[in-house]
Amino acid sequence: MEQARFRAAIIALLISSRSASPQLPAGRVALLSQGTTSGNLYVNPVLGLRYQFPEGWTVNDKITTVPHQFTWVDQPGAKTPGGSTTQCSRNLLFVTKHPEGMETNSFDPMALMVAVDPACFPEITFPRSLTDRDAVQKAAAQVLQHLQTPGAVVRAPARARAFDNAGTVMLEVWRPLSFTTREPRRGAGATIRNVDRSVLMMPAGGYWIVWIFVSGDDVDMDKLKSTKIFLDVPGESPANK
């Protein structure tokens, strides 16, 4: 009898430890390293990646709040047991072609890099292979629900594909959009802007890393899409390679 109780206690302990071990701390993305930039190279050893954005573009300390801001949205949002909202994403890098405040006659091309905690979005299933078209299309549809495009009008259906980057599957979702801006400094009324948005997504360091590229012309979009992403061993400094 005692032996049976002992076995039952051991089994209960094993079940408890196994169920608790995979859980990650809520809001952990808020503690993720911001990474550093030097020239046109962004480095984050914790994630094990480097990103080379277009040379000569401007790194902004904060995302400028503008009516046509494009970003990742955590909604509907995860909730902790206490009822407070959990932070599920963190902006790591924001670059634009021109310095902040510089007047241009067109949309200022931008690249936003975001770290997303997959634990907050169980509905999003990242494709595991390049050939699983159903998984790619499903993931793309789910990702689109978390992209903020205030007042934007879709000009064409989204296109999605998966491709390989040094052995890592990456997802791309592309969609052309239109939105209206008002620029009182120029004494003009409403202006309709046509832009293309390309979103890249990949797993790294236990997170999803999302790049949001937006441009009003093909030349700058080609520059953004041809930028390089280097994968390193997480925690290893590129200087030691």
Would 71 be classed as within a structural domain? yes
Would 7 be classed as within a structural domain? no
Would 126 be classed as within a structural domain? yes
Q: Is 222 exposed, middle or buried (0-12, 13-18, 19+ CB in 10 A)?
A: exposed
Q: pLDDT category, 239, cuts 50, 70, 90?
A: low
Q: What was the pLDDT predicted at 185?
A: 55
Cβ atoms of 182 and 166 within 8 Å: the answer is no
Q: How many CB atoms lie within 10 A of CB 160?
A: 21
Find the mean pLDDT for residues 125-138.
92
Would 1 be classed as within a structural domain? no
Rg over alpha carbons for the chain, rounded to the nearest Å, is: 21
Would 12 be classed as within a structural domain? no
Q: What was the pLDDT predicted at 71?
A: 85
What average pLDDT does the structure give for the chain? 79
Would 10 be classed as within a structural domain? no
Percent of all residues in the chain with a pLDDT value above 70, rounded to a whole number = 74
Cβ atoms of 124 and 137 within 8 Å: the answer is no
Q: Which CATH number covers residue 161? A: 3.40.1000.10
153 to 133, 149, 157, 177, 219: CA distances (angstroms): 26, 9, 11, 6, 22
Cβ atoms of 68 and 193 within 8 Å: the answer is yes
Quote the domain boundaries for residue 198: 25-240
Bond into 118 cis (ω within 30): no
Q: pLDDT category, 123, cuts 50, 70, 90?
A: confident
* 3-state SS assignment for residue 83: coil
C-alpha–C-alpha distance, residues 13 and 20, integer Å: 11
C-alpha–C-alpha distance, residues 227 and 213, integer Å: 11
Most confident segment among 35-49, 94-108, 134-148, 149-163: 35-49
Domain total of the chain:
1
pTM: 0.79
